[in-house]
Chains A and B, each alone.
Chain A
């Protein structure tokens, strides 16, 4: 890694991971930095790919999505089913918010959002269970969630 972010860069990352819409000027004032200097640092973090983009935060429940479920999916017929096909098919389901290929008890860890449990069952039966190669599925209903800043120091 050629670019080594310093303390100020980490402070910028901490601030932007809470609010990415803050202006370079406002952020700079907080960090005792000029607007252009702050802007240059943000730009560098983006160019280096450290800031990979932005995510809009919405209150899922207020928008009618009351249930989030994590699925642990094991593929039944490894070797015969194409992982690419499976991944493409599952990622295309609108209710699927994230898909991780994992090593361990399961092959995939999938985050699904639904209006309620009945809606989740519909997604599970109609969309998930018909995917190519799906074997065992374990479901865990999310109760609470905290995002932490991570090792930004």
Chain B
């Protein structure tokens, strides 16, 4: 699907302020309401605009601790990767699962209410995941930027 500069302008404005009404969005993107709505719809159908997701502040729900776990898997086991991912997905406190090229194989973002809860999770749910060769933890101190926006 071909994307034009006008499309990019719309997405840029929408990214900056997702709650804009169609009229406000059109105005900021320098177009009219009908064109703006049509372009957005076209990008939705084309699978470029995937919708909007609510951002949850986990700390406000009592999850004060966020740890990023970098896991290397035992590559001598053929299904290590699939089996690990399958089990990791079942842990409710895991909010993100990423795979990498490079030194790290898999990264999990894990939420916990406090350090005691984290320790308990780490022992009972994380360390029991299959085929872990090595694991390193990075604890989040602060989130400086989290827009996740694209430089359109």
Most chain B CB atoms below 10 A, which of A52, A147, A150:
A150
Instruction: Answer yes or no: B1 CB below 8 A from chain A CBs.
Output: yes
A98 to B66, CA, bound (A): 15
B60 to A48, Cβ gap below 8 A? yes
A13 to B54, Cβ gap below 8 A? yes
B89 to A148, Cβ gap below 8 A? yes
B56 to A98, Cβ gap below 8 A? no
A-B contact count (CB 8 A): 196
A150 to B150, Cβ gap below 8 A? no
Instruction: Answer yes or no: B141 CB below 8 A from chain A CBs.
Output: yes
Instruction: Answer yes or no: A56 CB below 8 A from chain B CBs.
Output: yes
B102 to A139, Cβ gap below 8 A? yes
B144 to A150, Cβ gap below 8 A? no
A94 to B148, CA, bound (A): 10
Question: Given A65-B150, A140-B103, A150-B111, A101 and B140 touching (CB < 8 A)?
Answer: yes
- Residues in B neighbouring A62, C-beta threshold 8 A: 1, 3, 46-48
Interface string of A1-18 (1 = CB under 8 A from B): 100010000000100111
Instruction: Answer yes or no: A102 CB below 8 A from chain B CBs.
Output: yes
Question: Given A87-B144, A140-B102, A148-B94, A57 and B50 touching (CB < 8 A)?
Answer: yes
Q: Contact size class for A?
A: 35 or more
Question: Given A48-B60, A141-B101, A147-B95, A98 and B52 touching (CB < 8 A)?
Answer: no
Instruction: Answer yes or no: B78 CB below 8 A from chain A CBs.
Output: no
B53 to A95, Cβ gap below 8 A? no
B56 to A150, Cβ gap below 8 A? yes
Instruction: Answer yes or no: B152 CB below 8 A from chain A CBs.
Output: yes
Q: Contact size class for B?
A: 35 or more
- Residues in A neighbouring B142, C-beta threshold 8 A: 100-101
- Residues in B neighbouring A113, C-beta threshold 8 A: 150-151
| Contact partner, B52, options A52, A54, A146, A149, Cβ 8 Å | A54
A109 to B138, Cβ gap below 8 A? yes
Instruction: Answer yes or no: B77 CB below 8 A from chain A CBs.
Output: no
A135 to B51, CA, bound (A): 38
- Residues in A neighbouring B46, C-beta threshold 8 A: 62
B24 to chain A, nearest CB (A): 15
Residues of chain B in range 96-152 having any CB-CB distance to chain A below 8 Å: 96-104, 107, 111, 136-152
A116 to B152, CA, bound (A): 15
Please give me the residue from chain B that is nearest to A53 by CB atom: B55
Instruction: Answer yes or no: B33 CB below 8 A from chain A CBs.
Output: no
B96 to A147, Cβ gap below 8 A? yes
* Interface residue ranges, A against B (CB under 8 Å): 1, 5, 13, 16-21, 48-60, 62-65, 70, 72, 87, 90-91, 94-106, 108-109, 111, 113, 138-153
